[in-house]
Amino acid sequence: MAEARRVDQSEPLPWNLAGGIEEPATNIVKATTAYVAENATHVSISAKGIQATVDGISLETLRELVSPKAYNTDIHYVDGGPLTVQYLLVVDALNFCFWPDEELEYEQLSTGVKAALEADPTALDAEKLMWITGEGVRQLLGWKRDVPLQEERARLLREVGSSLVRHFRGSAARMVEAAGGSALALMALVAQVFPGFRDHTIYKGRQIFLYKRAQIFVGDVYGAFGGEGLGAFWDIDQLTMFADYRVPVVLRTMGILDYSQGLEDKIQRREQLPPGGEEEVEIRACTVVAVERLREALAAKFVGTPGARLPHAIQLDWWLWETGERERLRHPPHHRTLTTFY
Ligand X SMILES: Nc1nc2c(c(CN[C@H]3C=C[C@H](O)[C@@H]3O)cn2[C@@H]2O[C@H](COP(=O)(O)O)[C@@H](O)[C@H]2O)c(=O)[nH]1
Question: How far apart are the two ends of the chain, measured CA to CA in Å?
Answer: 39
Among 77, 87, 99, 197, interactor with ligand X by CB under 6 A: 99
User: Which residue, 80 or 262, has its beta carbon nearer to ligand X?
Assistant: 80
User: Which residue, 178 or 236, has its beta carbon nearer to ligand X?
Assistant: 236
Instruction: Find the angle CA(2)-CA(168)-CA(312) to the nearest 5 degrees.
Output: 150
Question: CA nearest 261: which of 73, 4, 22, 42?
Answer: 42
Site string for ligand X, 199-228 (x = CB under 6 A): ---------------------x--x-----
Interface with ligand X (CB under 6 A), residue total 24
194 binds ligand X (CB under 6 A): no
How far apart are the C-alpha atoms of 43 and 50, rounded to whole Å?
Answer: 15
Region from 26-34, 54-62, 70-78, 203-211 binding ligand X, contact rule CB under 6 A: 70-78
The catalytically annotated residue of 92, 199, 220, 244 is 244
Q: How far is the CB of 322 from ligand X (least distance, A)?
A: 6
Residues 236-265 that bind ligand X (CB under 6 A): 241-242, 244-247
Residues 109-128 that bind ligand X (CB under 6 A): none
User: Which residue, 167 or 213, has its beta carbon nearer to ligand X?
Assistant: 213
Among 23, 34, 66, 105, interactor with ligand X by CB under 6 A: 105
318 binds ligand X (CB under 6 A): yes
DSSP 42-76: SEEE-HHHHHHHHHT--HHHHHHHTSGGGS--TTS
| Annotated catalytic residue 265 | no
153 binds ligand X (CB under 6 A): no
Whether 269 contacts 335, CB under 8 Å: no
Residue 196 per-residue DSSP state: G
Among 321, 335, 337, 340, interactor with ligand X by CB under 6 A: 321
User: Which residue, 71 or 194, has its beta carbon nearer to ligand X?
Assistant: 71
Nearest 10 degrees: Cα torsion 148, 113, 242, 166 = -100
How far apart are the C-alpha atoms of 234 and 239, rounded to whole Å?
Answer: 11
User: Is residue 188 helix, strand or coil?
Assistant: helix
The Cβ-side half-sphere exposure at 309, using a 13 Å CA radius, reads 11
User: Which residue, 96 or 209, has its beta carbon nearer to ligand X?
Assistant: 96
98 binds ligand X (CB under 6 A): yes
Residue 110 per-residue DSSP state: H
341 binds ligand X (CB under 6 A): no
87 binds ligand X (CB under 6 A): no
Query: For the chain, where are the alpha helices, taking DSSP H only?
Result: 28-39, 47-55, 59-65, 82-93, 106-119, 126-129, 134-141, 150-168, 172-178, 183-193, 212-224, 247-253, 261-268, 278-302, 313-327
Binding site for ligand X (CB under 6 A): 71-72, 75, 95-96, 98-99, 105-106, 220, 223, 241-242, 244-247, 317-318, 321-322, 325, 328, 342
The set of catalytic residues is 244
